[in-house]
Structure 1
Amino acid sequence: MSAELQIAAKVVELVRALAGRSAEAEVTVRHHALALTRFANSAIHQNVAEASTGVRLRLHLDGRTAAGSTTLTGADGLRSLVERTIAAARVTPPDPAWAGLTRPAPLHVSANHPGSGEQSGLAFGFDEATARATPAERAERVRAFVDAAGGLETAGYCRTAYISAAFANTAGQAVTGRTAEAAMDGIARAGGADGVARLATSRLAGLDGAVLGARAAAKARAGAEPVELPPGRYEVVLEPTAVADLLHNFAVFGFNGKAYAQKQSFAELGTAQFDPSVTIVDEPLGSRGEPAAGLPFDDEGTPRRSLVLVREGVTRAVTHDRTSAAQVGAESTGHAAPGSRSWGPCPAHLRLEAAPLAAGGSDGGPPMIEASARPLVARMRRGLLVTDLWYTRVLDPKTLVVTGLTRNGVWLVEDGEVTGPVGNLRFTQSYPQALGPGRVLGIGGESVLLPDSWADSRYAAPALHLASWNITGNASG
């Protein structure tokens, strides 16, 4: 039994002893270790690392629900947690939306996440070297990034993260799992123009700082002396770094089960809302040889598995915890999180499926263009190549109209050739509409794993060629 599961089992025992057998309780114990190597002005300026074990208890007692947490895992700390949570439950208003506990169920298995033992989720291919990475190993990637930038000013980070977790409840469910991630995100700057490159992976050995640094530098050098373009609708190729923002907003506002239950999501199950080329899958257990990206169970102990949200343009599912599932007569999809009853359950490992292109289609082209985007650019008559989107804000959650800015490189493309850099632009665009039927002109041949701001989520995004993107102004005004 893992250390985390031992702690969870102890809390369950305390609940039974102090609150009685009628109490329903669920306990999540998570050990999270995050290490970050930051660099600026082409030099490392900070190494930080933190490791903590947190215990979260949710208790349903006499029709009332309360939650508490602690990082004190000794006997006194755990007893205090249970006592405080019982006291809170007794003065909390009744909870008619309580959906009960997850019953005992085995974890789902896959080629990438077969488990080890009946209720253990020790990920296949889990990389111990990443979980135990040293500052020197991260610094090697930073040095390679800086050297490959060829004298340009650089900044960014290389991080490694490790999570080991366990769940237990009074209904008898008890599961464990662990996951590791490495990520790098860096920019290079030339004459006021920035270029970016970023990547996430389950193995630190899969991060090549030299490749990322060279790409960021090529973008920066190609972005000098940009021109301004007038507002209007433009054909665009969005590189994977930009597409990741679409996936993030789809996850938070579109495929969110609470938003769907409250009719605040664009999602209409069984409806062809996207172009037939679009398939979107949530894959917490990993895919295509990549080890598991997330834990094999959620914060309610529900086993996770691959979930198809959009298949060939048709919206098939949204993500649920037990509460949102009960509201619409569905089953939990394993997406409960500490705040999901308030904010809604969201997918954290979305993949927009790539569309393999003709052989040789991605070879050649300017070095600042991500490889899988090059054949899409070659097909464009007149439009924009966009590296990155940032400072995006939702104006209308129902239609998912988003406003934001481009960043880290925009270029005008005419007759399949990049003709020059463009200044950053403001856009106002419905993300589902941009990927609607007939609006996707092409999808890149590779989905690139990209880091999110949270170390336990990431997105796999290919480049996208879209018929129309609504540019509403320049970044300068």
Structure 2
Amino acid sequence: MTILTEAEAKAILDKVLAFSTADECSAQIGGGTSGNVRFARNDISTAGVVDSVELGVQVAFGKRVGTATINQFDDASLERVVRRAEDLAKLAPENPEFMPAVGPQTFRPTDTWSEATAALTPEARAKIAEASILPCRDKGLVAAGFLEDSAGFTAFANSKGNFGYQKAASADYTCTVRTEDGRGSGWVGSNVQDIDQFDAGKEVQVAMRKAAASVDAQALEPGKYTVILEPAAAAGLISFMMNFFDARSADEGRSFLSKQGGGNKIGEQIVDPRVNIYTDPWHPLVPALPWDGEGLPREKAAIIENGKVANLEYSRYWAQKQGKPEKAGWGNVIMDGGTKSTAELIAGTERGILLTRTWYIRLVDPQTVLLTGLTRDGTFYIENGQLKYPIKNFRFNESPVIMLNNIEELGRAVRVKADEGGSMLLPPMKIRDFTFTSLSDAV
């Protein structure tokens, strides 16, 4: 396993800094082991393990910046990558938004490591695939899925004296189950830090039930419906919305958080008062690295509080320009929910639609965060608290901002994979007046 200790990583970074003759130098080294297994048509199709470590160096002469990377760590190679970065910096034009490296910071460690995940072997991955495939074979269903796990480290240092080191591990699993005739489809996904908390045999049962139950889907007229979005279905829409919580785009009029006449909507009500979204690198279910890409220490902070915009992300350059304090970028997104499971939300719904998954989401209008996308892999009509029958998939046109103003109920939050990587904590959501614009023939 290619994981350097803190002492080994620091020794390399110290050498890099010593080799530099630039006004300032920053370096980051990271890597580890990533393993995967892919299965399709009830058989394992590919599997692999990748070990890698890479060093990146950035130097600056005034506001002229150069970067270079390498994966060899003898002294000659380290000096060579520094010189390459310096040569590039001397050729580069000045960057008017260049910000000097930050000085020494104090980082409170977060619990991002898992020995169990780091110890995963090819045989263990094959067992997870087997636990997904065999139940499907027994029921005449067809499974296809992917498991990817990683265990690694990251360390950085700069010539101002800032240094950080931490290890992290995680695993991500998805499985699609189809009926043999292809008319029914179910899906399940799981994102965990500790692989011991994951049970493929249990997870695949969810996809199997949905696949068997989604045959002979009936068509409903497009329109506005009450929907229950499972957390994975909500993740695609909420992830998109969070990309707009950037202060600069809001201040420059390029965001739904821009104010008419200039400025941003910090402090303004934008969604239902029950919506509370925040970031917390020490959250036990979705821990994140304790620093951001600039080497600033992360903090717990409200993003939306009781439906009002509480904070936006400021780059160091934009914070300086706007006279704001420098704060680290967010490492995770957590949305509070209630206590009910998805099944309990269904049981309390007179009429509505259950969405297992949203897919192929694209932005239509940045000023309203209007998105378009498709439902798939298990869409069901709800009547009198029960899944009455499967329905054909829809194309939707919906804004997560409008969606979060149409909340009827929130369930218990669970860990899901964010679209841009990393993890989120999101609840299932019962939403009224969700807009479907047309039918889709995909299952």
**Could you tell me how far apart the structure 1 residues matched to 2:155 and 2:251 are?**
29
Match of 2:437 in 1: 472
Note the alpha carbon deviations across 1:81-131, whole angstroms, 9 max, x for none.
Answer: 21121111112221221222222111035xxx2xxxxxxxxx37x322211
Shift of 1:386: 0.5
2:7 corresponds to which of 2, 13, 18: 2
| From 167, 178, 181, the counterpart of 1:178 | 167
| Residue 131 (structure 2) aligns with | 144
1:351 pairs, out of 317, 334, 337, with 334
Q: Please name the residue that 2:25 is paired with.
A: 25
Name the aligned partner's letter for residue 259 of structure 1: S
Deviations 1:359-413 (Å, cap 9, x if unpaired)?
Answer: xxxxxxxxxxxxx112222232322111100100011223211111001111112
- Mapping 1:342-421, distance limit 5 Å: 347-357=330-340, 372-421=341-390
* Counterpart for residue 394 of structure 2: 425
Distance (Å, rounded) in 1 between the aligned partners of 2:242 and 2:229: 18
Deviation of residue 59 (structure 1)?
Answer: 1.9
Which residue is 1:241 aligned to?
A: 232
Q: Give the percent of matched residue pairs that are identical in Structure 1 and Structure 2.
A: 25
Residue of structure 2 equivalent to 1:106: 106
State the SS of the aligned residue for 1:211: helix
Runs (5+) with no aligned partner, structure 2: 1-5, 258-264
- Alignment partner, residue 194 of structure 1: 185
Per-residue displacement from partner, 1:283-324 (whole Å, max 9, x unpaired)? Answer: 333x2x43x643222222112233321122111112334234
Aligned match of 2:250 in 251, 256, 260? 260
Contact 1:4 1:164 in 2 (8 A): no
Measured against aligned partners, the alpha-carbon deviations of 1:12-51 in whole angstroms (never above 9, x if no partner) come to 1111xx33xxx12221111142111111111212111112
| Cα distance in structure 1, aligned partners of 2:337 and 2:7 | 38
Whether the 8 Å contact between 2:37 and 2:126 is mirrored in structure 1 is yes
The residue that corresponds to 2:76 in the other structure is 76
Query: Residue type matched to 2:128 in 1?
Result: R
* DSSP 3-state at the match of 1:139: helix
Change (3 A) 1:74 1:251: farther
CA distance 1:194–1:440, shift in 2 (3 Å): same
- The one of 215, 231, 239 aligned to 2:222: 231
Name 1:119's counterpart in structure 2: none
Distance in 2, Cα, partners of 1:5 & 1:187: 43
Cα offset, 1:415, TM superposition: 3.0
8 A contact 1:184–1:198 mirrored in 2: yes
CA contact (8 A) 1:5 1:29 kept: no
Q: Distance in 2 between matches of 1:48 and 1:320?
A: 39
CA distance in 1, matches of 2:36, 2:122: 8
- Which residue of 2 is the match for residue 340 of structure 1? none
Counterpart for residue 440 of structure 1: 407
Secondary structure class of the residue paired with 1:384: strand
Q: For residue 200 of structure 1, report the CA deviation from its aligned partner.
A: 1.0
Match of 1:319 among 301, 313, 320: 313
- 8 Å CA contact 1:293–1:457 kept in 2: the answer is no
Aligned in 2, Cα 1:303/1:11: closer, same or farther, shift over 3 Å?
A: same
Taking structure 1 as reference, are residues 427 and 216 closer, same or farther at Cα in structure 2, changes over 3 Å only? Answer: same
Distance in 1 separating the partners of 2:309 and 2:345: 25
The answer to whether the Cα contact below 8 Å between 1:108 and 1:305 also exists between their aligned partners in 2 is no
> Equivalents in 1 of 2:209, 2:84: separation in Å?
57
Across the two proteins, how many residue pairs are aligned to each other? 426
1:300 paired to 2:263: no
CA distance in 2, matches of 1:204, 1:469: 35
Range that drifts further, 261-270 or 80-89: 261-270
Name the structure 2 match of 1:333.
Answer: 327
- Once the two structures are TM-superposed, the CA of residue 424 in structure 1 deviates from its matched residue by 1.0
CA distance in 1 between counterparts of 2:211 and 2:291 reads 42
Q: Which residue of 1 aligns with 2:88?
A: 88
Kindly provide the amino acid, as one letter, of the partner of residue 392 in structure 1.
I
Structure-1 residue corresponding to 2:272: 275
Q: Is the 8 A contact 2:235 2:419 kept in 1?
A: no
Structure 1 residues 313 and 226 mapped into 2: Cα distance closer, same or farther (>3 Å)? same
Judged with a 3 Å threshold, the aligned counterparts in structure 2 of structure 1 residues 46 and 331 are, in CA distance, closer, same or farther, namely farther
* Distance verdict in 2 for CA 1:257–1:39, change over 3 Å: farther
1:247 deviation in Å?
2.6
Q: What amino acid does structure 2 have at the position aligned with 1:270?
A: G
Distance 1:333 1:144, change over 3 A: farther
Contact kept, 8 Å, 2:353 with 2:381, in 1: the verdict is: yes
Give the deviation of 1:56 after TM superposition: 1.6
Q: Which residue of 1 aligns with 2:415?
A: 449
Q: How many Å separate the matches in 2 of 1:324 and 1:138?
A: 45
1:199-238 alignment to 2 at 5 Å?
Answer: 199-238=190-229
Contact 1:152 1:188 in 2 (8 A): yes
Q: CA deviation at 1:261?
A: 4.4
Runs (5+) with no aligned partner, structure 1: 114-122, 336-346, 358-371
Deviations 1:120-164 (A, max 9, x none): xxx37x322211310111222222222343341001012211120
- 1:261 and 1:48 map into 2 onto residues whose CA distance is 46
Query: Which AA in structure 2 matches 1:464?
Result: M
Partners of 1:92 and 1:356 lie apart in 2 by: 55
Task: Give the structure 2 partner of residue 117 of structure 1.
Answer: none
How large is the RMSD of aligned CA atoms in angstroms?
A: 2.0
The structure-2 alpha-carbon separation of the partners of 1:141 and 1:453, relative to structure 1 and needing over 3 Å to count, comes to farther
